Structure 1
Amino acid sequence: MKQQGMGSYRWTICALLFFATTVNYLDRQVLSLLAPDLSKQFGWSNTDYANITAVFQFVYAISMLFAGRVVDKLGTKAAFVLAILVWSIGAVMHAFALGLGSGMASVLNALGLAAVPVSIAGFMIARAVLALGEAGNFPAAIKATAEYFPKKERAFATGIFNSGANVGAVLAPICVPLLAAVWGWQAAFVAVGAIGFVWMGLWITFYEKPEQQKRLSKAELAYITSDDAHSGALAGAAGLALSWVALLAYRQTWAFAFGKFMTDGVWWFFLFWLPKYLSAQYGMTSSDIQLPLAILYSMTMIGSVGGGYFPTYFINKGASPYDGRMRAMFLIALFPLVVLLAQPFGYISFWVPVLLVGIGTAAHQAWSANLFTTVSDMFPKRSIASVVGIGGMAGGLGGVLITKIGGWLFDHYGALGQVSTGYTIMFSGCAVAYLLAWCVMKTLVPRYQVITEPSA
């Protein structure tokens, strides 16, 4: 219960995490919005585009593993500064993709190797750098949330900052095509990438560890650390620094990783492929898709914030935080099933798949807010970012798989004049992924169990 005069500085930190996540998704979505035009300009096939996006997802996956460990070692403040510095540079590098590609082609030719087409090579390099930095966002944000919020508020706080992904996805289709139309596609990458440097200054100014934060009242600090104060086992566990090998010995780690593997790729599929889907299926241009995508991703904000708050209904009825989250996640996993209807009824209007996919993506954000928080429910604070990193790697690899499958399906059925069939297959897989993930997670961790000591 909220204490009188306690203060609310922890929500300032949440606002900074929201801002960072917004920038994170703005930067990664610029390419997908410009993809229909860039594909025509540079002659990319669906497989070419899939290869470019797969580079992002593969580097992101590998980097997530190390990002979690870096965050745990460097601390939240320094690690977040490093992450956004790298990803902002990577975002701006897209504007110089042709030069980067020419340089790579020269190196490959000198080595006697076959050169990748200049445009593809350049965007691959830029996407790799972007992914390297962006991998630090969620491990750092989840760790900051665990540092600044008691358990009962963490899913709600996670839902709020995670909704920055939705805001970024809403703002991008509004701003990016306009920037590209007025100043060219290179300017769109530069302008959006530069926003990260603004956030960096705010983070350096306003973030410190809670125990070192002068803007935090004693009452609010006591409230934040109330879980540790009332749980001797967990307080003792807070000082542990579990190794990757030790973490992989726990079913809790595998449950989180499988949940990410099955569902992260669904979100990325919709994020990276929806503009191309609307272009291929309905002949829509970059300007045509602005309103549908803005509405779709506005729907996801409801899912993110509402989904983060949803478990409190079960927790207030006596369920443990983990059990309450799992009950909520089961109900959330049912909503993406409506995506099964997107293609069969898409002939009515493009609004049918847009709204049904909007329900699915809103459910994903609700799922994601709770999935992330299961880690802070069960693991000591000093290992949270490492576990998030392991799960992030699994999610990234799942994203690579779904992207490559999608690119192949769309080219295969497109050549047969049946492009809608490829999307029907992909939408069907996305719809059932959450229920499958929940069943496996529940099997691995049927009951709430806190990690209190490293494996022998």
Structure 2
Amino acid sequence: MPQSTQTRPADATRQAGASTTASTTASTARRSNARYQILGLLAVGTMINYLDRTVLGIAAPQLTKELGINAAMMGLLFSVFSWSYVASQIPGGLFLDRFGSKLTYFLSMTFWSLCTLAQGLVHGIAGLFVFRLGLGVSEAPCFPTNSRVVATWFPQSERAMATGTYTVGEYIGLAFFSPFLFMLMGAFGWRSLFYVVGGVGIVFGVIWWLMYREPRDHPSANQAELDYIEAGGGLTQRHKDSGAAAAPAKSGFEWRTIGRLLKHRQLTGICLGQFAGNSTLVFFLTWFPTYLATERHMGWLKIGFFAIMPFIAASIGVMFGGLFSDWLLRRGKSANVARKLPIIAGLLLASTIILANYVESNVAVIAILSVAFFAQGMAALGWTLVSDIAPEGLLGVTGGIFNFAANLAGIVTPLVVGFIVAATGSFVGALVFIGVIALIGALSYIFIVGDIKRIVLVD
């Protein structure tokens, strides 16, 4: 007789036991830490991102003399980056939701680095204008992608830490590379800055393409880590996100969705607050070297040395704010307290930048600016709130709206500062403007934002 193809009871028992053993082994296996490798990529990418957008500010004192650019026109050139950056936020978010993190970030970094490199080739205002516009378009998807990667790779209890870690890249690069960049400019001229920074970005774009994977595709992420991430609300992006070969995902987007999202106080409140925090940041990224050179009359080497201090302070502020927020959350505090308290405290403290107008010592000025920038770093948790409140499937678009509003500061602040300096010949009014905006941001988080909870769009 032919042997029966049915499983005997004893065999079934052994198979069930083996399955249970395998499941138990998987659940008790030591958890891998592949998410930290991904976080390292985000941190380096963000560092390069901010070097690319800030290098014009470092070059400005020398560049303005060679090209004959006054303060008002320089403010316009600082601002023009944010025109296209802001205008591209929602299209960038849509591209991200459709094509995924890997391809979006690769294309973004490659093109923004090319635009940076090209700025070193210009011989007039028109060329700078065009390539600053291109830089803004290319960089637009970066932070929505960062937010999406963190929401995918990290449980909620680690997201503020993760956001703080990649955000610190904004400041670390400027803190530790500023002396090198000032020395490079002194030795080879301002054009060399754009060649070096742009070239580094192109190389890292290739590294990102080769190394980034989604959690379920990552060779170093074991099941224990995947379970840990998913239990904390991560792994929400179910589709394969491996680049051009991935099947496009439907974002479920309609243009009326933007208006529906903005009706929720959580989003409008954090947009206003982030605008305020970004105003302080933009001042340091654009006018700070010129402030030291013209208002404080410092030489190149002294500027390179003193420029380190506020950026180191901001780096510490970012990490402190993220760790403090996650610590409060683990201690049982509500998301309202854990997420909003560091931001409110940071914005209030950032307003002390006004005090720099009333001291004579360069050391005292740098100390005040360092405290203000430390506080701005504390307040840089807005992207964590985006992850917490974005409707399911609309993280890219929500992040695009948030970044659109937040980076209006990149348009307004350089122009206002430039016009104030051109009109008065002093930075006194400019620092007052920055301090008042920070206070408005704190009031937004106190009175407008309300409860931190995921937005549900009801038809």
**TM-score using structure 1 length:** 0.86
CA contact (8 A) 2:266 2:450 kept: no
SS in 1 for 2:332: coil
Aligned to 1:92: 117
Change (3 A) 1:198 1:80: same
1:221 aligns with 2:221: no
Deviations 1:278-330 (A, max 9, x none): 11112223332000001221111100111111113322332233431112222
CA contact (8 A) 1:24 1:168 kept: no
Aligned to 1:401: 412
SS in 2 for 1:287: helix
Deviations 1:64-114 (A, max 9, x none): 23222221221111110111011001100101112xxxxxxxxxxxxxxxx
The structure with the larger Rg is 2
1:413 aligns with 2:424: yes
Aligned to 1:430: 434
1:23 aligns with 2:48: yes
Aligned to 2:383: 372
Match of 1:144 among 144, 149, 169: 149
Structure 1 stretches of 4+ with a deviation exceeding 4 A read none
Change (3 A) 1:339 1:228: closer
Q: What displacement does 1:47 show?
A: 0.5
Q: What displacement does 1:217 show?
A: 0.6
CA contact (8 A) 2:153 2:234 kept: no
1:51 aligns with 2:76: yes
CA contact (8 A) 2:97 2:251 kept: no
- Equivalenced residue count is 418
C-alpha separation in 2, matches of 1:434 and 1:142: 23
C-alpha separation in 2, matches of 1:310 and 1:323: 11
1:198 aligns with 2:212: no
Aligned to 1:450: 454
Aligned to 2:35: 10
C-alpha separation in 1, matches of 2:71 and 2:132: 17
Q: What displacement does 1:207 show?
A: 1.3
1:313 aligns with 2:327: yes
* Paired AA for residue 368 in structure 2: L
1:76 aligns with 2:121: no
SS in 2 for 1:169: helix
For the aligned residue pairs, the C-alpha RMSD in angstroms reads 2.2
Aligned to 1:266: 280
Deviations 1:92-150 (A, max 9, x none): 0101112xxxxxxxxxxxxxxxxxxxx11111112111111122211111111111000
CA contact (8 A) 2:156 2:233 kept: no
Change (3 A) 1:309 1:239: farther
Aligned to 1:107: none
CA contact (8 A) 2:385 2:452 kept: no
* Percent identity for Structure 1 against Structure 2: 26
CA contact (8 A) 2:115 2:135 kept: yes
* Paired AA for residue 163 in structure 1: V
1:363 aligns with 2:375: yes
C-alpha separation in 1, matches of 2:212 and 2:295: 46
CA contact (8 A) 1:170 1:297 kept: yes
Structure 1 portions without partners, runs of 5+: 99-118, 232-237
Change (3 A) 1:43 1:354: same
Aligned to 2:86: 61
Change (3 A) 1:4 1:437: farther
CA contact (8 A) 1:322 1:374 kept: no
1:335 aligns with 2:349: yes
C-alpha separation in 2, matches of 1:381 and 1:244: 14
C-alpha separation in 2, matches of 1:330 and 1:3: 41
Aligned to 1:304: 318
C-alpha separation in 1, matches of 2:162 and 2:140: 20
* Paired AA for residue 443 in structure 2: C
**TM-score using structure 2 length:** 0.86
C-alpha separation in 2, matches of 1:28 and 1:167: 14
Match of 1:158 among 158, 163, 184: 163
Q: What displacement does 1:381 show?
A: 5.2
Which moves more between the two structures, 240-249 or 296-305?
240-249
SS in 2 for 1:27: helix
* Paired AA for residue 451 in structure 2: R
CA contact (8 A) 1:56 1:130 kept: yes
